[in-house]
A and B are shown apart, each in its own frame.
Chain A
Amino acid sequence: MTLQTKNNETLVFECETANYHTFCPISCVSWLYQKIQDSFFLVIGTKTCGYFLQNAMGVMIFAEPRYAMAELEEGDISAQLNDYNELKRLCLQIKKDRNPSVIFWIGTCTTEIIKMDLEGIAPQIEAEIKIPIVVARANGLDYAFTQGEDTVLAAMAQKCPKKSEPTIKKTNNSLLLFGSIPDSVANQLILELEKQGINVSGWLPPKEYKQLPAIEEGTYVCGINPFLSRTATTLMRRRKAKLISAPFPIGPDGTRAWIEKICSVFNIEPVGLEEREKQLWESLSDYIEILRGKSVFFMGDNLLEISLARFLIRCGMIVYEIGIPYMDKRYQNAELNLLEKTCKEMNVIYPKIVEKPDNQNQLERIYDLQPDIVITGMAHANPLEARGINTKWSVEFTFAQIHGFANCRDILELVTRPLRRNNTLSQLGWNNYVETTIK
């Protein structure tokens, strides 16, 4: 590969037109309602929002989900109806039907534009219906896809109690983690930290809203996902917590670096991590063999891109471009440093990081570069496959279990899938499935 030249520069950041495809941030309700089991999510928006949720969530929609639309009608837009009365009526109905411990109001583009004062109305209705209401503005005017979770967690962080219950034993090495992942993956990470003598005192979000963790001044907090910068900021500024800035526990390298960084804050010498990481790399060798020397292009839509690219470079891949919706260089600082370090150690050129990408320009670059895999959204996946370019659907990374040592294999299972499948198919000799070469 000609691209494996010596580095002597730093990471390059670019910014394009933001003409890219991603999910609307209200999609976060699909995983958050499942995570927070006593919650109800009310998305205050239009038919457009509802249509997106209903189609993006696929079969989940039929499982009586604990979410609904408060669908705005013409009378709401023109303020002929009173927001307060309307919302109170719907929340009372939700209380009667589902009796949740908390109702999340998800603000949308429409509530922003008509300036509906959700934060102002919520405390009054909360007092009247006696159910806590948390307001998060997860709209497409400001945010992309996974950032929806960030707005919800940042709002929740403000609701966390100050003092922990006296019955809970307090230790010095206690830590609050933030980021929503399935309970079993959370347990795995907690176990890993326990092995190092670190006690995870709480998790945001908790399994139940009733178990909202206490945050005191000086509590150590650490994120497990790269898209949680608002939550981190809120925890630091509003709750005076101390943020541990670490790479994210994605891939064996990321997980080890994450634990090591946490240990270093607590002055603990980590035990057995090097060995654990080594074992894992060995166990991944069959997949790594497939990936080594192959090139990958991230079009960018979910903010996991930097961590995944870093892991894949460590696997021996060459990353041409990391598209990303939004790049918080402070919150992702440790991850960016690890990316640089990884590129140096693997002796590959730094990938170009493109914030707010332009999908049309990216397609031109993809045609030029002919990468072995393009990680992209469903809007582009089939058309690229039809042109003989392997793709992996990016949204799967947000729904698959990808955190911690135990799930590294799942990530590579996803990344190698198109290569393994297309290896078989390419023997048939039909790699182009479009009649003309028009893009």
Chain B
Amino acid sequence: MKLAYWMYAGPAHIGTLRIASSFKNIQAIMHAPLGDDYFNVMKSMLERERNFTPVTTSVVDRHVLARGSQEKVVNNITRKDKEFKPDLIILTPTCTSSILQEDLQNFVNRASMEIKADVLLADVNHYRVNELQAADKTLEQIVKFYIYKAKKEKILSTNKTKHISVNIIGITSLGFHHQHDLKEIQKLFSDLNIKINLVIPHDASVNQLKKIPEAWFNVVPYHEIGLLTAQFLHEEFNMPYVDITPMGVVETARFIRHIQSILRTYQVDVDYEEYIDEQTRFISQSAWFSRSIDCQNLTGKRAVVFGDSTHASAITKILVREMGINVVWAGTYCKNDDEWFNNEINNLCKKIIVSDDHNFIADLIAETEPDAIFGTQMERHIGKRLNIPCGVISSPVHIQNFPLSYRPFLGYEGSNQIADLIYNSFTLGMEDHLLEIFGGHDTRDTISNTLSLKDETKQSSIEWTEEAKNELLKIPGFVRNKVKKNTEKFALENNITKIYLDTMYSAKEALKKS
């Protein structure tokens, strides 16, 4: 057993559901107790999803415990098939169902004989992999299934497209800025005159998967999700892939050059150097911004970085190489990826941290006292407690990290966004610091409706009973003054000179009526 308050990566089934809900026309059925379908709330809330999340539960209750799921799972699968006519149904085990050790594969086999849709049992072990690993695995599982199926039916399409084309692998629902990143990569490929063959899993139909081999190569923008698929496609069809994350101008250039080298193996002689130079120096603002005198002030500022391995390593590279900031340490919670992470940023910072214990990270931040933090929502809150500004650069996320406006992290526009994020984090810190030195904002307790000084003489006549005072103290700090003010206003209006518990409630009631 482990004492835990917070986790960076969710349980395995979340990863499977993220993949399932990214595709078009897939239904996922969780084998889980009541209440485990919290994924639907997250999807509907965080992504402000307009459609019903295609995830339902085959509820594990006392009866199931006593007699096994028996017909229940099969019935739920056939029902979904009738109601939604999906292409694929994924039966998703949860931590509860994995210890029940029911033969879910058998249910899947039985159901598949009765229904039109394909059925798969997500092949993930709850006690060994986390959300990200499970997502990677499930995506590979689905792709494999449809490739083999197409092979068997002899409809696999292995001829390359006439024009140079690419598959983008790993854009998922509930991914950190994934939708914006996708648009930015699409724009990048359009600039490079490369056609997009398929984007998976985002908005893809499983029926399109037979077309995967038509692309000339694959790109995997995020290291956590999609790599297994790309590796499988490499083994199966000898398809080359790019696993460089185009985040920051330097890495975006490396990404493009890698594509150039792949295309040369196809005897296509492209030269993207001019494009890279033009974009870096004139279209993107971030390179020039780093050179501008404003950015000089950031030289040697101390920062720490923490997040998933993709974002934490990319941001570290940008901070150190592109902005001259001193990254005291950088870390990731993707423990399974530690070797890769180490290699990526090995010579860029003194210390590399691999941990999924937020208390350890919090203590480390407190000890380091950096000028700014770049981390997840958890580090943002740690920063709040320590009064250190924080830019959020990675999952786990919050509704604020699903902005309506265009906020990619990838490509040339992404580097602008990141430069703003970094710069704003530091200036906010600087402003705060100056405010503190010069005595802070002029805030005042007041019971009048104005901020000016008149009308303050009357309030002093009001007395609070001990009981009412105690009640007032129980009200959370951020609204306490408002309650105090409203109660005293109510007392003034009603010629009450002493405030009892009752007076407070009457004031609350009166306020609501007005």
Give chain A's interface residues, CB within 8 Å of chain B. 18-25, 44, 46-48, 50-52, 54-56, 61-62, 65, 67-74, 76-77, 81, 86-87, 89-90, 93-94, 109-110, 112-114, 139-145, 183-184, 187-188, 191, 283, 360, 363, 377-383, 386, 406, 409-410, 413, 433-434, 439
The interface size bin for chain B is: 35 or more
CA–CA, A413 and B513, complex, Å: 11
**Interface code B1-26, partner A: CB below 8 Å = 1, 0 otherwise?**
11111110011011000000000000
**Also in contact, A144 and B34, with CB within 8 A (given A378-B45, A383-B51):** yes
Q: Would you call A22 and B501 a contact (CB within 8 A)?
A: no
> A70 contacts which chain B residues (CB < 8 A)?
1-3
Is the pair A48, B51 in contact by a Cβ cutoff of 8 Å? no
B321-342: which have CB < 8 Å to A?
none
The complex places the Cα of A66 from the Cα of B32 at a distance, in Å, of: 27
Partner of A139, one of B7, B33, B48, B99: B33
Residues of A within 8 A of B37 (CB): 21, 379
B127 touching A22, Cβ below 8 Å: no
**B3 close to A380 (CB less than 8 A):** no
Query: What are 29 A-B pairs with beta-carbon distances under 8 A?
Result: A19-B59, A23-B38, A24-B36, A25-B35, A47-B10, A48-B96, A52-B38, A61-B5, A61-B6, A62-B381, A69-B2, A71-B4, A77-B127, A113-B96, A113-B99, A140-B33, A141-B34, A142-B61, A142-B62, A144-B34, A191-B502, A378-B40, A379-B53, A381-B44, A382-B49, A382-B50, A406-B508, A410-B512, A413-B512
A50 lies within 8 A of B4 (CB) = yes
A335 to B251, CA, bound (A): 66
With A90-B1, A110-B99, A379-B41 already in contact, the answer to whether A140 and B50 are too (CB < 8 A) is: no
- For residue B83, CB closer than 8 A to chain A, the reply is yes
Given A61-B5, A68-B3, answer yes or no on A22-B505 (Cβ-Cβ < 8 Å). Answer: no
- Cα distance A45–B452 when bound, in Å? 55
Give the A-binding residues of B (Cβ under 8 A): 1-7, 10-11, 13-14, 32-38, 40-42, 44-45, 48-53, 56-57, 59-62, 65, 76, 83, 94-96, 99-100, 126-128, 130, 378, 381, 384, 471, 474-475, 501-502, 505, 508-509, 512-513
CB distance from B81 to the nearest CB of A (A): 13
Interface of A: prevailing SS: helix
A25 to B62, CA, bound (A): 15
Which of chain B's residues has its CB closest to A77's CB? B99
B347 to chain A, nearest CB (A): 34
Sorted nearest first, the 5 A-B pairs with minimum C-beta distance are A24-B35, A140-B33, A379-B40, A386-B50, A62-B381
Which chain A residues border B57 with CB–CB below 8 Å?
19
Chain A residues closer than 8 Å to B36, beta-carbon distance: 24, 48, 52, 140
Q: Give the chain B neighbours of A381 by CB distance below 8 A.
A: 44
Is B3 within 8 A of A90, CB to CB?
yes
Q: How far is the CB of B48 from chain A (nearest CB, A)?
A: 6
Given known contacts A19-B57, A20-B34, what 19 new A-B pairs fall within 8 Å (CB)?
A: A19-B59, A46-B96, A47-B11, A52-B36, A71-B4, A73-B1, A74-B127, A93-B3, A109-B60, A110-B99, A140-B32, A141-B62, A191-B502, A191-B505, A360-B83, A378-B41, A379-B52, A383-B52, A410-B512
Partner of B2, one of A61, A71, A141: A71
Do residues B127 and A383 form an inter-chain contact, with CB atoms below 8 A? no
For the complex, what is the distance from the CA of A94 to the CA of B1, rounded to whole Å?
14
Nearest to B385 among chain A residues (CB) is A62
If the complex has contacts A47-B10, A140-B36, are A113 and B505 also in contact, measured as CB distance less than 8 A?
no
A354 CA to B34 CA, complexed, in Å: 17
- Rounded to whole angstroms, the CA-CA distance of A406 and B37 in the bound complex is 35
* Residues on A with beta carbons closer than 8 Å to the beta carbon of B14: 51
User: How many angstroms between the C-alpha atoms of A46 and B42 in the bound complex?
Assistant: 19
A404 to chain B, nearest CB (A): 9
Pairwise interchain contact B7-A50, C-beta atoms closer than 8 A: yes
Query: Once the chains are docked, how many angstroms separate the CA of A71 from the CA of B32?
Result: 18
Chain A residues within an 8 Å CB radius of B505: 184, 188, 191, 406
- The closest CB in chain B to the CB of A432 belongs to B50
A76-B126 Cα distance, complex, nearest whole Å: 14
CB-contact partner of A56 in B7, B38, B83, B384, under 8 A: B38
Name the residue among B11, B35, B100 with the largest chain A CB count within 10 angstroms.
B35
- Cα–Cα distance between A67 and B33 once the two chains are bound (Å): 22
Which of B50, B60, B130: most chain A CB closer than 10 A?
Answer: B50
Q: Are A24 and B11 in contact (CB under 8 A)?
A: no
Partner of A187, one of B11, B100, B128, B501: B501
Interchain CA distance A94-B3 in the complex, whole Å: 9
Report yes or no: B65 in contact with A141, Cβ–Cβ below 8 A: yes
Which of A20, A23, A52 gathers the greatest number of chain B CB atoms within 10 Å? Answer: A52
Complex Cα–Cα for A394 and B51 (A):
19
- Given the known interface contacts A19-B59, A141-B62, the answer about A184 and B474 at a Cβ–Cβ threshold of 8 Å is yes
B41 x A113 contact (CB < 8 A): no
Does B41 contact A69, Cβ atoms closer than 8 Å? no
Instruction: Output the least CB separation between A88 and chain B (Å).
Output: 10
Residue of A whose beta carbon sits closest to that of B1: A86
Q: Across the interface, which residues of A come within 8 angstroms of B100, CB to CB?
A: 113
Contact between A144 and B3 (Cβ–Cβ < 8 Å)? Answer: no
Query: A65 — which chain B residues lie within 8 A by C-beta?
Result: 5
Residue in A closest to B64 when the chains form the complex, CB atoms? A141
Decide: A114 and B41 in contact? CB cutoff 8 A: no
CB-CB under 8 A from A71, the residues of chain B are 1-4
Note all chain B residues with C-beta closer than 8 A to A24: 33-36, 38
